[in-house]
């Protein structure tokens, strides 16, 4: 029976989906460091993680039998994708399942900061009745600047506009503006126009240090700032300075450069205790609805891959899906050079088999071919396929029925 290891308190629906796919599933609440992860992966076919566990090149090299990794979140920067691809490990994530949860949190925080609800709440809890409109504003008519106009940024754009906000955005790639949103030609232009700035960029290395003292200084006086993307993109010392100076009227931060590994661990930040600052423990996508959807979606992708070799929405392998077939199936992940498909088919014919169905896709230096044959594959055919100089990994799927 194949084994799956799920870390970081992944929703139980993932255990159910993988269990129905024939896996023996172990679920662990916390993350693991590199050494413990290598030890835990002994005999494991599929690994599921969230954002804390780092699947490094060393982990992948020391556990060559690992077949797939599921990132039960949006980001995959915690996984060495190149090494995973080069060793034949498919990686899947959930690029859409929690976008609504993140967007709703951003909207709630924009309103809370504009109304200074956090300060009013603290005053009342401390026994002080401070009924005043001072510093409290509506969001209607204000300009929201969205940095990163992907799945989350674009959906936030629609909801913010429905609240009566004007929306401007900046993205490195040209994106279609939704509604009345306006694209900015540069980050500086966005900072000049926006009264609230929210970051929704991805985890690529080039975004490290994206927002620091220079960018905060260019924001409009008494504007709001939110970061629900990645902790390493913002200089928190610079943010603290601009909040204390009054240049930034309020901030909401959900992600941090160094986050505790386990629930209940101590948390430190230079942003603690500042006025009109909302700090949340990386819960942008942590609603019960989102976690259920993520668990079902990613576990389903892992099950499809292990059952039929389907790589649809894989973040690091060529995208392939082959439907139908009642015999046996094999997949050859290989280096993308001319003639591989012809050599594969020649070997199938030499061993007295017919190809019932086949699909090939390439992605950069990689090629991935799924092949259905009409009868049981002899061991010497599998040996010959593995021996092809271009083969990275050969996987078989027996007695398929769609």
What separation in angstroms does the CA of 217 have from each of 68, 241, 245, 351, 397?
44, 10, 11, 70, 58
User: What six digits make up the tokens of 373?
Assistant: 């044959």
Which residues lie across from 253 on neighbouring strands?
A: 227, 279
Task: Determine the pLDDT at residue 398.
Answer: 59
Residue 230 has pLDDT above 50, yes or no: yes
- Does the annotation mark 282 as catalytic? yes
Cα Rg of the chain (Å, integer): 25
Nearest-10 crossing angle of helices 99-115, 151-162: 50
pTM of the complete model? 0.84
Q: Dump pLDDT digits (tens) for 189-212.
A: 999 999 999 999 988 888 899 999
Give the pair of three-digit tokens for residue 340.
């591989």
pLDDT tens for residues 347-362?
999 999 999 999 999 9
Instruction: Quote the pLDDT of residue 262.
Output: 77
Residue 77 confidence (pLDDT) above 50: yes
Q: In this model, does residue 103 exceed pLDDT 60? A: yes
Q: Tell me how far apart the alpha carbons of residues 283 and 240 are, in angstroms, rounded to a whole number.
A: 21
Strand partners, 359: 370
- CATH class, range 318-397: alpha beta
Q: How many C-beta neighbours within 10 Å does residue 288 have?
A: 9
**Pick from 68, 76, 98: which is nearest to 315 by CA?**
76
Structure tokens at 111: 């309103």
**Tens digit of each residue's pLDDT (9 = 90 or more) over 354-397:** 999 999 999 999 999 999 999 999 999 999 999 999 999 999 98
Q: Looking at 8-165, which runs of residues are DSSP E strands?
A: 24-27, 46-49, 68-71, 90-92, 143-147
Residue 226 has pLDDT above 50, yes or no: yes
Burial environment of residue 385 by CB neighbours within 10 A (0 to 12, 13 to 18, 19 or more): buried
SS3 assignment, position 314: strand
Q: Of 24, 58, 189, 259, which one is the catalytic site residue?
A: 259
Instruction: Determine contact, residues 77/308, Cβ cutoff 8 Å.
Output: no
Q: Note the pLDDT of residue 264.
A: 84
> Topology of 99-279 in CATH?
Rossmann fold (3.40.50)
Of 28, 97, 22, nearest in space to 313 by CA: 97
CA distances from 398 to 50, 64, 279, 309, 325 (A): 31, 22, 51, 11, 11
Find the largest Cα–Cα distance for the chain.
86
Q: One of 50, 115, 242, 282 is an active-site residue; which one?
A: 282
* Same fold flag, 99-279 and 318-397: no
DSSP string, 99-134: HHHHHHHHHHHHHHHHHTHHHHHHHHHTT------T
Give the pLDDT of residue 204.
83
Chain CA centroid to CA 307, Å: 23
Tens digit of each residue's pLDDT (9 = 90 or more) over 22-60? 999 999 988 999 999 999 999 999 999 998 999 999 999
List, edge to edge, every strand of the sheet that includes 68-71. Answer: 24-27, 3-6, 46-49, 68-71, 90-92
Q: Is 247 a catalytic residue?
A: no
Mean pLDDT rounded to a whole number for the chain: 95
pLDDT band at residue 402 using 50, 70 and 90 as cut-offs: very low
Domain boundaries of the chain, sorted by first residue: 1-97+287-317, 99-279, 318-397
**CATH number for region 1-97+287-317:** 3.40.50.720
pLDDT digits (tens, 9 = 90+) for 118-160: 999 999 999 999 999 999 999 999 999 999 999 999 999 999 9
Between CA 89 and CA 46 the distance in angstroms is 9
HEC string of 162-195 equals HCCCEEEEECCCCCCCCCCCEECCCHHHHHHHCC
Q: Which of 115, 120, 166, 230 is catalytic?
A: 230
Give CA–CA dist 375/348, Å, rounded. Answer: 11
């Amino acid at each position: 029976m194949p084994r799956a290891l799920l870390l970081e308190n992944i929703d139980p629906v993932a255990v159910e989906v993988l269990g129905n796919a024939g896996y023996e599933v172990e679920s662990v609440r916390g993350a693991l460091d590199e050494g413990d992860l290598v030890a835990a992966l002994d005999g494991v076919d599929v690994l599921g993680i969230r954002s804390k566990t780092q699947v490094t090149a060393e982990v992948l090299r020391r556990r060559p039998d690992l077949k797939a990794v599921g990132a039960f979140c949006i980001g995959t920067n915690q996984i060495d994708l190149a090494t995973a691809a080069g060793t034949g490990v498919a990686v899947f994530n959930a690029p859409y399942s929690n976008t609504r949860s993140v967007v709703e949190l951003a909207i709630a925080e924009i309103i809370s900061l504009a109304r200074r609800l956090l300060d009013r709440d603290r005053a009342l809890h401390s026994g002080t009745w401070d009924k005043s409109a001072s510093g409290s504003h509506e969001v209607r008519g204000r300009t929201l600047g969205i940095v990163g106009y992907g799945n989350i940024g674009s959906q936030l754009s629609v909801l913010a506009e429905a609240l009566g906000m004007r929306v401007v955005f900046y993205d490195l790639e040209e994106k279609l503006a939704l509604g009345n949103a306006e694209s900015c030609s540069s980050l500086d232009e966005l900072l000049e126009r926006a009264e609230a700035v929210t970051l929704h960029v991805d985890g690529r290395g080039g975004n490290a240090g994206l927002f620091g003292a220079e960018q905060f200084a260019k924001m409009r006086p008494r504007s709001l700032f939110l970061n629900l993307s990645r902790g390493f993109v913002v200089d928190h010392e610079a943010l603290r300075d601009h909040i204390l100076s009054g240049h930034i009227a309020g901030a909401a931060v959900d992600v941090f450069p160094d986050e505790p590994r386990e629930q209940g661990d101590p948390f430190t930040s230079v942003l603690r205790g500042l006025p009109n600052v909302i700090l949340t423990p990386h819960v942008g996508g942590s609603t019960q609805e989102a976690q259920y959807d993520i668990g079902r979606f990613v576990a389903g992708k892992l099950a499809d891959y292990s059952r039929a070799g389907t790589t649809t929405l894989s973040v690091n392998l060529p995208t392939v899906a082959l439907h139908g077939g009642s015999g046996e199936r094999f997949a050859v992940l290989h280096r993308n050079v001319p003639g591989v498909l012809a050599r594969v088919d020649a070997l199938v014919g030499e061993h007295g088999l017919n190809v019932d169905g086949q699909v090939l896709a390439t992605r950069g230096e990689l090629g991935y071919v799924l092949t259905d044959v009409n009868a049981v594959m002899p061991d010497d055919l599998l040996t010959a396929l593995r021996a092809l100089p271009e083969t990275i990994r050969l996987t078989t799927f027996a007695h398929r029925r769609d």
